[in-house]
Amino acid sequence: MAADARGALVYLGFADHEPRLRILERLAREGGLTDDPAAFAQVESQLDAYFRRIRTTFDLPLAPRGTPFQLRVWKELLRIPHGGTRTYGDLARRLGDPLLTRAVGAANGANPISIIIPCHRVVGADGSLTGYAGGLHHKRALLDHEGV
Nearest to 88 by CA among 100, 74, 70, 71: 100
Whether this prediction's pTM lies above 0.85 is answered by yes
Helices then strands, counting H and E runs in the chain, come out as 6, 5
**12 contact partners, CB below 8 Å, separation of at least 6:** 1, 2, 43, 112, 113, 114, 115, 116
Q: Identify the DSSP state of 91.
A: H
Question: What's 68-145's CATH class?
Answer: mainly alpha
The whole-number pLDDT of residue 102 equals: 95
- Catalytic residue list contains 123: no
Q: Where are the domains of the chain?
A: 2-51, 68-145
How would you classify the pairing of strands 9-11 and 2-4? antiparallel
- Of the residues 27, 104, 119, 142, which is catalytic? 119
Spatial separation of the C-alpha atoms in residues 74 and 34, rounded to whole Å: 23
Spatial separation of the C-alpha atoms in residues 72 and 146, rounded to whole Å: 24
Lowest mean pLDDT among 45-49, 55-59, 94-98, 126-130: 126-130
Q: Give residue-wise pLDDT tens across range 37-66.
A: 888 999 999 999 999 999 999 999 999 999
> CB–CB of 88/122 below 8 Å?
yes
